[in-house]
Amino acid sequence: MSGIIKMSRRDFLKTGALAGGGLILCFSFPLGKALGDTATQPAALIQPNAFIRIGADDTVTIIVNHSEMGEGVYTSLPMLVAEELEADWTKIRVEPAPVDPVYNHTAFGMQMTGGSSSVWSEYDRLRQVGAAAREMLVAAAAAVWKVDRESCRAVNGKVVHTSGRQLTYGQLADKAATMAVPKEIRLKDPSEFRIIGKPTLRLDSPEKVNGKAVFGLDVRIPGMLTALIARPPVFGAEVASVDSRKARAVPGVRKVAQVPSGVAVVATGFWPAKKGRDALKISWGEGPGARLSTAGMREQYAKLARTPGSVARKEGDPEQALLKAAKQITAEYEVPYLAHATMEPLNCVVDLRADGCDIWTGTQFQTADRNAAARVLGLKPEKVRLHTTFLGGGFGRRANPQSDFVVEAAHVARTVKGPVKVIWTREDDIKGGYYRPIWSDRLAAGLDKDGNPVAWLHTIVGQSIMHGSPFEKRMIGKDGIDQTSVEGAKEIAYAIPNIRVDLHSPVIVVPVQWWRSVGHSHTAFVVESFIDEVAHAAGQDPYQLRRKLLAGHPRNLGVLELAANKAGWGKPLPQGRARGIAVHESFKSFVAQVAEVSVSPEGEIRVHRVVCAVDCGRYVNPTTIEAQMESGIVFGLTAALHGAITLKDGRVEQSNFNDYQMARINEMPEVEVHIVQNNEKSGGIGEPGVPPIAPAVCNAIFSLTGKRIRSLPISAEELKA
């Protein structure tokens, strides 16, 4: 957006972009209280609106309403404000926003971070915010100097008059606070940008490098106790009886209390709480969940996949076209449950007092968590102040539809006096559910006599993640189709005249949730592997077939060709290596990846190099885009090589990083990222790097070994020479 924006008071109220006069929000210093360093906070002089505070020392504090979980919003969102504010970038500071409707997501109507949406959803609002504040500062300078406003201009944290006089933003802050909110503002033309689009180092690196960054787990309040919770060994099980005598005898254990999610052991620290929990004797009423096994589920799912489900997309007459095709191929794919395994295990601090409650946690779901805690505590939502800390990874897990880790901590807080921190161990995290669902897919394609695909039939089986979530109404249609179950499969861009995509959504007791790239985490693997199968069946180069079928989709085609060219597609490789390619659209962005792979005689896969091309439209920080592509590639590679949560007799068989493994530095390929330059609307970057890597690697493996991987994680056993 550029040009003149007319701002009415109604717009400010509606968009929450500006909070003048009575709308100024009461700001707390959330982490300051916990850390006891409130004295170091610069005095606030003005709050030109809810997103900017300018101090007398010229610091410009941007209040960021999206959670920093590594994706870089504490840098990219301030860049949007600073650009239009004409701020001095070295004076920018960041503070997490409290919970307030003014900070709601512009598209989703609640305060949250997810769906790779932070930059595109704030691209206009935060620029308007910055521009409005800039206008107020310029007006203030003109008033001080008693000159025409047009003779003053904002430059790098100062207002400069044509005479050469200048005042810093800090000097002008007091006066600017008294200026009227501008009726219209001019946004810069992109050709004038000096911050947006320029490689910019993260603002949060220094504190993350010196150990001072405060994650939820690092919050300390005087008198705080620590709680661990013994949760059921089987999903859906309930406590039948508890013998807590030994647990209570552990020095440091203060309390053992039953809460809805299990049995809480509250102690003076982590270690006594853990020893106390280990000493609990609980008998569980296990219920039907105890009969569940993922091996059985996979069989059931595969059977279901051979029957038609609810139709998500139908074009032409796919069944007839398949029957009449010169050649038919079919394949069945499957992927497992996956845990998010954020490096910082889940945690939440609750300080419940007679006059209200403070909560500190790293969350992606501020509004929902605050409201859920208020319900548990019997408080009005405004009596609950939720403070967002840094998140030691999110990947969707910290946007829980039931606010599980916050609600549970609120229940524990009700049983004790004073503040309490609930900590999840790694084992609690791995066994705790809210997984990426298991999926089974059956695909069939028909080729004509020239090898062109004429029919594509894709049946998907898997649990709905939206069922029971706040987005159920929005995301599940009358036809019962959860859009996230079919995303990336339903809207395939390949020019095939007859298409059917259908869905079965079995209900299973295992809780499931969005996991970085959501439905695309599975559909890209399946679609991009099967189109490769189609190419090989047709005797065509997989890259060239994709090119041909994507001719009508310039952005898909653009990244595909860019990645292939940069990777040297078709050029010779060292002996024992092969390339695989995949292209996928997700979260309004387009990503293609070419992976160079070798396989040892023992079946060990080595990904040597990944060339990644990304088109995310107008972008803010290219450094972050590169980082997020690298990150997505490692995340997807970890799942492809190692990731599987399995259940036997209802029990999760994995527990920690010994049996739920992460890719490590020795498995890190060389990654190079190429960013497409255009003026399309901004797309996401946090997730779109994930989907293409698994199929790119598996397609390379096929090219190298002739073995088609249709089940993840890739089995070294299957690839043994």
User: β-strand 184-187 against 3-6: which pairing, if any?
Assistant: antiparallel
Chain residues 29-68 in contact with another protein, contact rule CB under 8 A: 68
Does position 664 interact with another protein (CB under 8 A)? The reply is: yes
Stretch that binds another protein, among 233-241, 387-395, 405-413, 611-619 (CB under 8 A): 387-395
Distance CA 89, CA 78 (A): 9
Nearer to another protein, 217 or 476 (CB): 217
Nearest distance in Å: CB 96, another protein = 14
Distance CA 256, CA 412 (A): 10
Nearer to another protein, 169 or 395 (CB): 395
Does position 611 interact with another protein (CB under 8 A)? The reply is: no
Nearer to another protein, 86 or 596 (CB): 596
Nearer to another protein, 394 or 691 (CB): 394
Stretch that binds another protein, among 189-197, 276-284, 335-343, 460-468 (CB under 8 A): 335-343
Nearest distance in Å: CB 445, another protein = 33
Please select the residue that binds another protein; options are 209, 295, 507, 721, rule is CB under 8 A.
209
Distance CA 556, CA 708 (A): 24
Nearest distance in Å: CB 215, another protein = 6
Please select the residue that binds another protein; options are 342, 517, 521, 593, rule is CB under 8 A.
342
Please select the residue that binds another protein; options are 109, 206, 260, 468, rule is CB under 8 A.
206
Nearer to another protein, 333 or 424 (CB): 424
Q: Measured at the alpha carbon of residue 409, what is the angle toward residues 405 and 411, in degrees to the nearest 5?
A: 120
Distance CA 145, CA 515 (A): 56
Query: How far does CA 577 lie from the centroid of its chain?
Result: 33
> What one-letter code names the amino acid at 277?
R
Please select the residue that binds another protein; options are 343, 544, 568, 600, rule is CB under 8 A.
343
Distance CA 446, CA 442 (A): 14
Nearer to another protein, 666 or 679 (CB): 666
Nearest distance in Å: CB 208, another protein = 3
> What one-letter code names the amino acid at 246?
K
| Main-chain dihedrals φ then ψ at residue 427, nearest 5 degrees | -65, -40
Nearest distance in Å: CB 270, another protein = 5
Distance CA 348, CA 511 (A): 20
Please select the residue that binds another protein; options are 39, 43, 354, 665, rule is CB under 8 A.
665
Nearest distance in Å: CB 376, another protein = 26
Nearest distance in Å: CB 250, another protein = 9
Nearer to another protein, 432 or 650 (CB): 432
Does position 338 interact with another protein (CB under 8 A)? The reply is: no
Nearer to another protein, 390 or 543 (CB): 390
Nearer to another protein, 127 or 277 (CB): 277
Please select the residue that binds another protein; options are 11, 270, 293, 541, rule is CB under 8 A.
270
Q: Is the peptide bond before 206 cis (omega within 30 degrees of 0)?
A: no
Please select the residue that binds another protein; options are 205, 283, 330, 544, rule is CB under 8 A.
205
Nearer to another protein, 401 or 632 (CB): 632
Please select the residue that binds another protein; options are 30, 170, 392, 488, rule is CB under 8 A.
392
Nearer to another protein, 91 or 490 (CB): 91
Distance CA 358, CA 67 (A): 18
Query: How far does CA 338 lie from the centroid of its chain?
Result: 15
Please select the residue that binds another protein; options are 164, 251, 572, 706, rule is CB under 8 A.
251
Nearest distance in Å: CB 420, another protein = 14
Nearest distance in Å: CB 260, another protein = 25
Nearest distance in Å: CB 219, another protein = 9
Query: How far does CA 245 lie from the centroid of its chain?
Result: 42
Nearest distance in Å: CB 646, another protein = 19
Please select the residue that binds another protein; options are 333, 390, 543, 619, rule is CB under 8 A.
390
Distance CA 108, CA 117 (A): 10
Distance CA 483, CA 466 (A): 9
Please name the helix (run of DSSP H) or strand (run of DSSP E) that holds residue 674, with its range, or none. strand 670-675
Neighbours of 418 (CB within 10 A): 14
Chain residues 426-445 in contact with another protein, contact rule CB under 8 A: 426
Chain residues 622-661 in contact with another protein, contact rule CB under 8 A: 623, 627, 630-635, 638, 656-658
Does position 278 interact with another protein (CB under 8 A)? The reply is: no
Does position 72 interact with another protein (CB under 8 A)? The reply is: yes
Nearer to another protein, 72 or 318 (CB): 72
Beta strands in 100-235 (DSSP E): 152-155, 158-161, 166-168, 184-187, 225-230
Q: Report DSSP letters for 238-288, one per residue.
A: EEEEEE-HHHHHSTTEEEEEEETTEEEEEESSHHHHHHHHHT-EEEEE-GG
Both structure tokens of 273? 């709480």
Radius of gyration of the chain (CA): 27
Please select the residue that binds another protein; options are 306, 670, 681, 720, rule is CB under 8 A.
670
Q: Measured at the alpha carbon of residue 431, what is the angle toward residues 639 and 282, in degrees to the nearest 5?
A: 170
Does position 419 interact with another protein (CB under 8 A)? The reply is: no
Chain residues 345-384 in contact with another protein, contact rule CB under 8 A: 345
Distances (CA, A) of 66 to 80, 235, 362: 13, 32, 11
Chain residues 285-314 in contact with another protein, contact rule CB under 8 A: none
Nearest distance in Å: CB 135, another protein = 33
> What one-letter code names the amino acid at 103?
Y
Both structure tokens of 271? 């270690």
Neighbours of 303 (CB within 10 A): 11
The total number of residues shown for the chain amounts to 721
The candidate with the shortest Cα–Cα distance to 403, out of 431, 424, 375, is 375
What is the 8-class DSSP label of residue 435?
A: B
Distance CA 639, CA 653 (A): 17
Chain residues 210-239 in contact with another protein, contact rule CB under 8 A: 210-215, 217-218, 220, 226
Nearer to another protein, 274 or 547 (CB): 274
Nearest distance in Å: CB 684, another protein = 16
Both structure tokens of 26? 């009461």
Nearer to another protein, 264 or 633 (CB): 633
Nearest distance in Å: CB 112, another protein = 17
* Helical H segments across 378-496, by residue range: 404-415, 426-431, 472-475, 483-486
The candidate with the shortest Cα–Cα distance to 490, out of 685, 315, 709, is 315
156-195 mask for another protein (x: CB under 8 A)? Answer: ----------------------------------------
Distance CA 49, CA 133 (A): 8
Distance CA 340, CA 331 (A): 28
Nearest distance in Å: CB 536, another protein = 30
Q: Report DSSP letters for 348-401, one per residue.
A: EEEEEETTEEEEEE--S-HHHHHHHHHHHHT--GGGEEEEE-B-S--TTTTS-T
Nearer to another protein, 197 or 356 (CB): 197
Distances (CA, A) of 646 to 299, 398, 586, 712: 14, 22, 27, 12
Nearer to another protein, 153 or 606 (CB): 606
Binding site for another protein (CB under 8 A): 68-72, 201-202, 204-206, 208-215, 217-218, 220, 226, 251-252, 269-272, 341-345, 390-395, 423, 425-426, 623, 627, 630-635, 638, 656-658, 662-666, 668, 670-671
